[in-house]
């Protein structure tokens, strides 16, 4: 379990994390989302004692990270896959970590096999691809067989098979009763992997809820409409504040109106419909709504760049 209480970090006059208070529970995959510059990496670094909080506390199993005699046995983390000696082999890198925490050398071979690096273990880590480096970082996080695991963008550089492997690994670790805290910008993966989401923006907590609740809370309603004569319907929807985008001949995607309202309007106009179906809110859509006022580095829409 990870407990944050009033966690705050300031750099000079800039506050990058504002009084975060939340609990990351065991037995779940908790996704950690937020725009660039939201404070996600800083929060994770404070949990690991790499940055000192300006105020508040970050506790793992009720203790600060630096209080653990063998911290790798309590919490495993991957924050930066490049944080290793490039001249060491993958095996030597893990052996050095194991010795520093009283972990048997045999465990190194176990985690190398788990992440699929047994055949590359003698190669220098400096020649590893980005994906291999990610796998080595995950092996380091698993090395102490900890009950708490934390990963920052663990699927960067992985091919589709590797992405699916990470997804299954995260879920299997949570199923064993471990605490799994994962930061990612890949909304599609979080939607498939996470049980619960923590969303921050500009260092402030925006949401902390089961993923199903966040999806259900989206305010944007989308409806697929099919029919032979949709022009008048689209015009009336626009007049009522909704948008109706053609997605194929005889098909509209309506945003900002419920299916019931679209159906009633079509009935009043005498417009025949062949299909009227609500479209599920995606995590990307819900996330964009939550963070709309928290994006620090916003570029213009591509249509505005000419």
Binned at pLDDT 50, 70 and 90, residue 297 comes out as: low
Res 217: pLDDT: 65
The whole domain housing 6 covers 2-216
Res 304: pLDDT: 45
State whether 248 and 196 are in the same domain: no
Res 220: pLDDT: 62
User: Is 18 within the bounds of a domain?
Assistant: yes
User: Is 293 within the bounds of a domain?
Assistant: no
User: Is 269 within the bounds of a domain?
Assistant: yes
Please give the model's pTM, rounded to 2 decimal places.
Answer: 0.79
State whether 238 and 100 are in the same domain: no
270: domain CATH number is 3.30.70
Give the C-alpha separation, 23 to 26, whole Å: 10
For residue 32, which phi and psi values (nearest 5 degrees)?
Answer: -120, 110
Res 288: pLDDT: 81
Give the C-alpha separation, 256 to 215, whole Å: 16
State whether 116 and 136 are in the same domain: yes
78: left (phi over 0), alpha (psi -120 to 50) or beta: beta
100: domain CATH number is 3.40.50.300
73-132 confidence digits (pLDDT tens): 999 999 988 888 889 999 999 999 999 999 999 999 999 999 999 999 999 988 999 889
The total number of structural domains in the chain stands at 2
- Domain boundary (216, 233, 257) is at 216
Binned at pLDDT 50, 70 and 90, residue 305 comes out as: very low
**Cβ atoms 35, 297 nearer than 8 A:** yes
User: Is 121 within the bounds of a domain?
Assistant: yes
Binned at pLDDT 50, 70 and 90, residue 173 comes out as: very high
User: Is 298 within the bounds of a domain?
Assistant: no
Res 282: pLDDT: 76
């Amino acid at each position: 379990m990870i407990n944050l209480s009033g966690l705050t970090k300031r750099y000079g006059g800039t506050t990058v994390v504002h009084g975060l208070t939340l609990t990351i529970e065991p037995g779940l995959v908790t996704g950690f989302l937020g725009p660039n510059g939201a404070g996600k990496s800083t929060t994770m670094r404070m949990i690991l004692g790499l940055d000192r909080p300006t105020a508040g506390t970050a506790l793992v199993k009720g203790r600060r990270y630096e209080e653990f005699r063998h911290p790798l046995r309590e919490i495993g983390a991957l924050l930066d896959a490049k944080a290793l000696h490039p001249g060491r082999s993958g095996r030597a890198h893990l052996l050095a970590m194991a010795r520093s925490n009283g972990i048997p050398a045999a465990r190194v071979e176990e985690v190398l096999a788990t992440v699929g690096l047994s055949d590359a273990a003698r190669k220098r880590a400096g020649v590893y691809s980005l994906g291999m480096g990610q796998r080595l970082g995950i092996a380091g996080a698993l090395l102490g067989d900890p009950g708490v695991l934390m990963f920052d963008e663990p699927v960067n550089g992985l091919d589709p098979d590797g992405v699916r492997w990470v997804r299954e690994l995260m879920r299997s670790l949570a199923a064993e009763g471990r605490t799994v805290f994962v930061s990612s910008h890949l909304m599609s993966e979080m939607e498939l992997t996470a049980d619960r989401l923590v969303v921050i923006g500009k260092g402030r907590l925006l949401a902390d809820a089961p993923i199903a609740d966040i999806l259900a809370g989206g305010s944007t309603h989308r409806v697929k409409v099919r029919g032979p004569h949709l022009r008048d319907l689209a015009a009336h929807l626009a007049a009522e504040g909704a948008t109706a985008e053609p997605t194929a001949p005889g098909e509209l995607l309506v945003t900002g109106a419920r299916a019931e309202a679209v159906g009633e309007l079509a009935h009043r106009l005498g417009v025949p419909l062949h299909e009227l179906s609500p479209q599920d809110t995606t995590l990307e859509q819900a996330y964009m709504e939550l963070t709309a006022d928290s994006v620090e580095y916003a570029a213009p829409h591509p249509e505005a760049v000419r």
